[in-house]
Amino acid sequence: MTAIDASNASAPSDAAVLARPARTGWTPRRRQLVGSTSVLAVLLLAWQLLPQALGTPSYVVPVLSDVLVALFDPAAFPRYLEAAGATMTEVGLGLAIGVGLGLALAITLAQLPTLYGIVFPYVVAIESIPKVAIAPLFVIWFGFGLSSKVVVVVLLAFFPVLVNTIHGLRSVDRDQVDLFRVNGATPMQVRLRLLVPASLPQIFSGLELAVAASMIGAIVAEFVGAQKGLGVLILQAQGRMETPAVFALLIILSALGIGLNVLVRLLRRLVVTWERH
Amino acid sequence: MSALVELDRLSKVYSTRTGDVVALQGITLTIDEGEFVAVVGPSGCGKTTLLKILANLEQHTGGTGILGNRELGGKASDDVGMVFQKATLLPWLDILANVLLPVTLKRRASAADREAAMDLLRMVGLEEFAHKRPDELSGGMQQRAAICRALVHHPSLLLMDEPFGALDAMTRDALNVEVNRIWRETHKTAVLITHSIPEAVFLAQRVIVMSARPGRIVEEIEIPFGRERTLELMGTPEFAALSARIRRDFEVKAA
Ligand SMILES: Nc1ncnc2c1ncn2[C@@H]1O[C@H](COP(=O)(O)OP(=O)(O)OP(=O)(O)O)[C@@H](O)[C@H]1O
Ligand SMILES: [Mg+2]
């Protein structure tokens, strides 16, 4: 009897506890969203107001509205579009080739332990040097056109994919391999139906790194010597001291980088459906 | 009964960087068609090695071995079904596709194959989970699916390497009853490796006791119970006496 009374007595307060978040709508997720939006609003406001208040000249730090004017300047739009197209062509081509080569070499090395032992120390060594420093050399070798940029992007996209994929392939469960062998699987079946799918999470992690690296590669390669691209426009704007345009171009670059990253993560969700989030 | 497995003074030496490891020595063993044999022995005595040799995953280095009408050590035979300690289901396939893997590695699964797989899943009470992913199943359910996978291509030999070692005692008992039923219904020849003496006595018609490395067979005990085993059997004095005897062999001869 007393037990029932006690549970009855506590029932309303339990309900109140459960109802509280729903009533005010302050779920943790919502809190985060409101928080990060406020941070952005404060930063943008500061950007608009602080340079004027401190008397900073526009060619050093332009106010937000000047940057927005430069960004949405109808006269500049075709140039932005053409440059973005050129840069993304370099990124796209370089990524495709770099990722393809990285995957192919990773699969080869993972299956040939001796070759892996010979080659991998060099991979690590090359991985640890700042590869963008080779960009000037590539301009000498491949000229000012598309190919020298693509080569730099390939080089930068290749390594994260190679290293992550190898790691994924080599950590595949021995018992799963035995399972395939016991059922008479061919080496090609082991590769395509076990090793590759099992490594997809790591392959995608490599891909995310490769995407970020390839944007860096394309821009640096354009700085070094190019006729087209967002990197070229940034240098031109800098030469004319048009700092608002520099900022506008940086915003375009960031948007493209974020877009590409979101695309890869979306693809990962679609492909690696068994991964827990 | 004709013999399915005949091992004659079979031995296995692993060559490693730190020298040779004699894993098995002078293993002479005959397993009849339809027989259920359990192997017990101290850790590291070569039980898994023996199973891998039977599955053609490892090559023996001495003696001879015959499985069916083939010499062991040749081309990988796909006439065995293997259950590992972990379920080793592929997380990107649903349960039905996992069970069908031994078939689909050879050809497209036919309607009859799918029907056979569903029959097996029904037999272990998993038909409702056919289209779930492995991570939606409990450990015991996953291991049941792994047993179905080991049977779907009608192998003549079922090999199980401590299949229930990672499961709790209750689930383990339930699965042992199920394995007994599957064995009776499918008339398979089965080799079970286990650390549990009661499990060996409960399931097997014959228990092989192996010695510490180098692994040799030190005792073979016939288990005189009928083919059908129920959990009540575990409470009988005969069961206790047999388990105690094997434990003694284990301590005296196997150490
Ligand atoms: N691939 C290998 N290379 C070298 N030595 C091995 C290899 N596999 C097993 N061994 C050695 O052979 C011996 C037998 O190993 P095995 O795995 O067959 O033992 P086990 O009886 O299954 O042990 P456990 O009960 O712990 O599973 C061990 O000493 C082990 O170290
Ligand atoms: Mg073992």
Tens of pLDDT, residue by residue over A59-108, are: 888 888 888 988 898 888 999 999 999 999 999 999 999 999 999 999 88
pLDDT confidence tier of residue B125, bands split at 50, 70 and 90: confident
Domains and CATH numbers, chain A: 62-271 (1.10.3720.10)
Q: What is the mean pLDDT of residues B79-89?
A: 91
Q: What is the pLDDT of residue B156?
A: 87
Contact yes or no for B214/B203 (Cβ under 8 A): no
Q: What is the pLDDT of residue A252?
A: 94
Contact yes or no for B124/B116 (Cβ under 8 A): no
- Listing DSSP states for A215-249 in one string gives HHHHHHHHHHS-SSSHHHHHHHHHHTT-HHHHHHH
Q: What is the pLDDT of residue A123?
A: 86
Q: What distance in Å separates the CA atoms of residue B202 and residue B224, rounded to the nearest whole number?
A: 11
Q: How many helices (H) and strands (E) does chain B have?
A: 8, 10
φ/ψ of A58, rounded to 5, equals -65, -30
Helix (H) or strand (E) holding B193: strand B189-193
Residue of B47, B53, B209 to test ligand 1 pocket, by largest number of atoms within 8 Å of CB: B47
B-chain residues within 8 Å CB-CB of A179?
Answer: 82, 84, 88, 101
Q: How many helices (H) and strands (E) does chain A have?
A: 12, 0
What's the alpha-carbon Rg for chain B, to the nearest Å?
18
Query: pLDDT tens digit string along B239-248?
Result: 999 999 988 8
A14 or A219: which leads in pLDDT: A219
Q: What distance in Å separates the CA atoms of residue A214 and residue A257, rounded to the nearest whole number?
A: 10
Pocket flag, ligand 1, residue B25 (CB < 6 Å):
no
Q: What distance in Å separates the CA atoms of residue B134 and residue A270, rounded to the nearest whole number?
A: 18
Nearest in space to B87 (alpha carbons), one of B158, B146, B16, B10: B146
Contact yes or no for A95/A214 (Cβ under 8 A): yes
How long is chain A? Answer: 277
**One-letter identity of residue A240:** R
Pocket flag, ligand 1, residue B84 (CB < 6 Å):
no
Pocket flag, ligand 1, residue B69 (CB < 6 Å):
no
Pocket flag, ligand 1, residue B163 (CB < 6 Å):
no
For the CA of B58, the closest atom of ligand 1 is 1
Q: Across chain A, what does the average pLDDT equal?
A: 87
Q: What distance in Å separates the CA atoms of residue B116 and residue B125, rounded to the nearest whole number?
A: 14
Q: What is the pLDDT of residue B255?
A: 67
Percent of chain B at pLDDT exceeding 90: 49
Residues of B with CB under 8 A from a CB of A: 52, 55-57, 76-78, 80, 82, 84-86, 88, 90-92, 101-102, 105-106, 133, 135, 153
Q: What is the mean pLDDT of residues A254-274?
A: 93
Contact yes or no for A239/A67 (Cβ under 8 A): no
Q: What is the mean pLDDT of residues B70-88?
A: 82
Tokens read off for B211: 């010695």
Q: Across chain B, what does the average pLDDT equal?
A: 89
Q: What is the pLDDT of residue A220?
A: 93
Report which DSSP code applies to B5.
E
Q: What is the pLDDT of residue A23?
A: 56
The answer to whether residue A269 scores a pLDDT higher than 90 is yes
Mutate to test the interface with B, among A172, A178, A183 (most CBs of B within 10 A): A183
| pTM confidence score | 0.80
Range of weakest confidence among A11-15, A268-272, B13-17: A11-15
Q: What distance in Å separates the CA atoms of residue B214 and residue B24, rounded to the nearest whole number?
A: 5
Q: What is the pLDDT of residue A8?
A: 45
- Tell me how many degrees the CA angle A253-A257-A258 measures, rounded to the nearest 5: 120
Alpha carbon of residue B187 to chain centroid: 14
Pocket flag, ligand 1, residue B14 (CB < 6 Å):
yes
Q: What distance in Å separates the CA atoms of residue A73 and residue A78, rounded to the nearest whole number?
A: 10
Contacts of B97 (CB under 8 A, 6+ apart): B90, B104
Task: Kindly list the domain boundaries of chain B, sorted by start residue.
Answer: 86-154
**One-letter identity of residue B98:** N
Q: What is the pLDDT of residue B240?
A: 92
Q: What distance in Å separates the CA atoms of residue A71 and residue A77, rounded to the nearest whole number?
A: 8
Tokens read off for A167: 């790691």
Q: What is the pLDDT of residue A277?
A: 59
Residues of A with CB under 8 A from a CB of B: 173, 175-176, 178-185, 189, 193-194, 197-198, 200, 272-274, 276
Q: What is the pLDDT of residue B136?
A: 92
Q: What distance in Å separates the CA atoms of residue A245 and residue A232, rounded to the nearest whole number?
A: 12
Q: What distance in Å separates the CA atoms of residue A152 and residue A173, rounded to the nearest whole number?
A: 35
Q: What distance in Å separates the CA atoms of residue A62 and residue A245, rounded to the nearest whole number?
A: 9
Q: Rounded to whole angstroms, what are the CA distances from B250 to B3, B4, B202? A: 27, 27, 17
φ/ψ of B169, rounded to 5, equals -60, -40
pLDDT confidence tier of residue A270, bands split at 50, 70 and 90: very high
The answer to whether residue A10 scores a pLDDT higher than 50 is no
CA of B17 to the centre of ligand 1 (A): 15
The answer to whether residue A206 scores a pLDDT higher than 70 is yes
Q: What is the mean pLDDT of residues A157-165?
A: 94
Pocket flag, ligand 1, residue B45 (CB < 6 Å):
yes
Residue located nearest, by CA, to atom 25 of ligand 1: B43
Contact yes or no for B221/B242 (Cβ under 8 A): yes
Residue located nearest, by CA, to atom 5 of ligand 1: B14
- Listing DSSP states for B45-100 in one string gives SSHHHHHHHHTTSS--SEEEEEETTEETTSSPP--EEEE-SS----TTS-HHHHHT
Nearest in space to A207 (alpha carbons), one of A122, A91, A75, A48: A91
Q: What distance in Å separates the CA atoms of residue A58 and residue B180, rounded to the nearest whole number?
A: 84
pLDDT confidence tier of residue A11, bands split at 50, 70 and 90: very low
Q: What is the pLDDT of residue A20?
A: 52
Range of weakest confidence among A2-11, B125-134, B212-221: A2-11
Contact yes or no for A124/A159 (Cβ under 8 A): no
Range of weakest confidence among A12-26, A123-137, A210-224, B207-221: A12-26
The answer to whether residue A230 scores a pLDDT higher than 80 is yes
pLDDT confidence tier of residue B1, bands split at 50, 70 and 90: low
Q: What distance in Å separates the CA atoms of residue B73 and residue B66, rounded to the nearest whole number?
A: 9
Distance from CA of A29 to the nearest CA of B (A): 26
pLDDT confidence tier of residue B180, bands split at 50, 70 and 90: very high
Taking a 5 Å cut-off on Cβ, the residues next to ion ligand 2 are B 48
Q: What is the pLDDT of residue A6?
A: 43
Helix (H) or strand (E) holding A150: helix A146-170
